[in-house]
Amino acid sequence: MTSLLTSLTRRIPASDQGAGDSTPKHLGWLMLTALGIGATIGAGIFVMPGMIANKAGPAGILSFVITGFIFLFVGICYERFSRVVPRGVSAYSYVYHSVGEIFAWIVAFGLFLEYSFGASAVAVGWSEYLKKAMKYTLPPFFSGPGYTNGEFHFGVNVVSVGVVAVVTLICILGGVNKSAKLNFVLVCLKTALLLIFMVAGLRHINISNWQPFMPHGFKGVIEGAALAVFPYVGFDALYTFARESKSLKDTKISTYLCIGVVAFLYVAVMAIACALAPCFINGNPNPLFVGNEASAPLASLLMASGEGWAGQLIAIGAVIGIFNVLLVLSMGGPRIFRNMAEDGLLPPLFAKTKNGNPTAGLILNGMIVACVAGLVPFGDIAHIMVLGTLIAFIFVCIGAYRLKIVSPIVPIMGGIGCAILALNLEPLVLKVYCVSCPIGLLIYFFYGRTHSKLAKAHEQKAENVQIKA
């Protein structure tokens, strides 16, 4: 029993992570910040305000503030870990070094949910904005599953599946350097779009739409804060590129710039969006903030306010802008697979790269993302991926506290904050995770535990002892 427990909690030294690392160091603070913002501006601003307003009403502004404040503590832990484990990527590497192997696997499973379900949700949001931009309709079956008058109907979102396939091909054929440059251009475009939304929206704001400000009380604000985790997932994506950072200083600058810029934009856009239309009408949710429309709320709100040209422009630009969110999220997940394969927890196939990108991981990730985007409703996807993110952040805070790399108050505040947000997600999401996580652990016990580099090193050490004896 002691031997089993020891094997489950074995930790990999920081010097061994990415051993023999030949990853090119070509990303400065500007590109790193753009990659982080690229995965957040779009994933949150373009597709989530509707769902958060339905939970918290105009107080969704506070939801974003609370989540940003919690993630500031988490961000400090990440930044310090990047110094301790410079060859690691994201929460997986940091937890493997600080807490233990089995917990690293659980975090990796959470990150899998984060990137695959996050990319899937963004793909669904992209398809809704494409409808707004191109003004086309598809038969209900080919528009994907959803709810009509409270009843679920099955379907396949063919547009979402198609865009995932295109993004996967770009990642495989274009290489990481070209993909990062494309991302930078798209981030500049999205920032301009948000400025257009704010300028156009300011002409039509009605502060009375903020009343009641907190329709569901503070509980609604916390539930909205839990959903507001979705927009911040790109922060973790930034650290999947940490091995490719030119220096620790570049990583540090990009961390705080990403959190600061994103938090400001979220709060500003949410405030204007809730002032353009009431979140509830006669006690019932405003159609602009629920259902399929909630996947493309900014364009819908501007069009409903009489700014047809601006709404159309936002829809067209968002089609391009959200595309790069999908690009970054699709690049992030396979990098987790790469590090796991390097550590022996996954087959060596996932460690092989071409043009800086892990090809096998990209293909598998693309298949999973396409299936989820095509077959699962938007709201359900968003809830599931948020839980995976929060679990990863909690373990990062535990690891930072254990290694004492930051003041104790930082990981305590970050961990408790993330736990509170996780407990305010939909109960069904927690049940799904409790079933799916053990299934994921079967892969670890049947493959990862015995093929782990640490397991092989232990076996080799034992053999040497026997030979000497």
Q: Domain 24-457 maps to which CATH number in 1.20.910.10, 1.10.600.10, 1.20.1740.10, 1.10.3720.10?
A: 1.20.1740.10
pLDDT at residue 187 greater than cutoff 50: yes
Contacting residues for 209 by C-beta, under 8 A, at least 6 apart: 58, 274, 275, 276, 277, 278, 279
Q: Encode pLDDT of 388-443 as tens digits.
A: 788 889 999 999 999 999 999 999 999 999 999 888 887 777 777 777 788 888 88
Whole-number percent of the chain with pLDDT over 90: 8
Could you tell me the two tokens for 33?
């910040």
Rounded distance between C-alpha atoms, residue 61 and residue 67, angstroms: 10
Three-state secondary structure call for residue 342:
helix
| Mean pLDDT over the full length of the chain | 78
Q: Encode pLDDT of 310-335 as tens digits.
A: 777 777 777 776 776 777 777 777 87
At residue 46, the pLDDT reads 63
At residue 416, the pLDDT reads 95
Q: Encode pLDDT of 354-394 as tens digits.
A: 766 788 888 888 898 888 888 877 666 666 667 878 888 99
At residue 419, the pLDDT reads 93
Q: Distance from CA of residue 255 to its chain's centroid?
A: 15
At residue 457, the pLDDT reads 74
Q: Encode pLDDT of 40-53 as tens digits.
A: 666 566 667 777 88
- Annotated domain spans of the chain: 24-457
CA angle, residues 455, 461, 462, in degrees to nearest 5: 90
At residue 294, the pLDDT reads 44
Rounded to 10 degrees, the C-alpha dihedral 365/366/368/372 comes to 130
At residue 292, the pLDDT reads 44
pLDDT at residue 39 greater than cutoff 50: yes
Rg of the chain in Å (alpha carbons)? 22
Contacting residues for 249 by C-beta, under 8 A, at least 6 apart: 29
At residue 156, the pLDDT reads 86
Q: What are phi and psi of 146, to 5 degrees?
A: 180, -170
pLDDT band at 54 (very low <50, low <70, confident <90, very high): confident
Q: Encode pLDDT of 78-135 as tens digits.
A: 888 888 887 766 788 889 889 988 898 888 877 777 777 778 877 887 787 787 777 7
Q: pTM here?
A: 0.77
At residue 152, the pLDDT reads 65
At residue 397, the pLDDT reads 94
